[in-house]
Amino acid sequence: QSVLTQPPSASGTPGQRVTISCSGSISNIGSKPVHWYQQLPGTAPKLLIYNNNQRPSGVPDRFSGSKSGASASLAISGLQSEDEAYYYCAAWDDSLKGRGVFGGGTKLTVL
Amino acid sequence: QVQLQESGPGLVKPSQTLSLTCTVSGGSISRSDYYWSWIRQHPGKGLEWIGYILYSGTTYYNPSLESRVTISVDTSKNQFSLKLSSVTAADTAVYYCARGGPTWYMDVWGKGTTVPISS
């Protein structure tokens, strides 16, 4: 059972806007920055969003992040077939002496 | 640009110690603003953070693995390493090394190495 909760799946058609949610608690998302990773099949995760809503260089502005209280969301607009991947949220958690925690991952399918 | 590459044995026997090394190229491991992390992914599952080390040698481990994990750094070789003791089949996973920023985001990842635990 992951500390951060994500829906196991999401889907959309090309061009649509989809959002993926990530729910946590005061000890993680509620007090720490949230980060998002994209993992294409058979590859290492790639940083997509850091510090709630910042995009690393090279990440298209179709990807955006937001946070409210102990929940966060990743939005993907203008959905493309190459966006089909797993998406993970992550944050530092101050409980249990402190640890990094991930969501269980959301499989995004482009229909 | 900075690249990370994991290396280690392809197979480890149960009860033995898993040892992996991450070689950093294109940049120095001796920067105070970076955390050097290990993460693993069990087959078909999500990501699990193992721990990180600073260039100074300060370490921080996942409490769930702390009793079996040691992460060390060799600044002369621009490498950091992971040792996981008393492994079982449950430690079979893809192991990634990554560079972390100050708020625990990981912006550069190695390709990962699959470590089966089997006799």
- CA nearest B4 in A: which residue? A44
How high is the pLDDT of residue B55? 84
pLDDT of residue A39: 98
Q: What are phi and psi of A92, to 5 degrees?
A: -80, 145
CA closest to B102 among chain A residues: A51
Give the pLDDT confidence score for residue B31 in this predicted structure: 82
- B2 in contact with chain A, both atoms CB, cutoff 8 A: no
pLDDT given at position B33:
83
Size of interface A-B (CB pairs under 8 A): 62
- Per-residue pLDDT 10s for chain A (111 aa) are 889 999 999 999 999 999 999 999 999 999 999 999 999 999 999 999 999 999 999 999 999 999 999 999 999 999 999 999 999 999 999 987 889 999 999 999 999
Residue B106, pLDDT above cutoff 90: yes
pLDDT at B60: 93
The band of B34, judged by pLDDT with boundaries at 50, 70 and 90, is very high
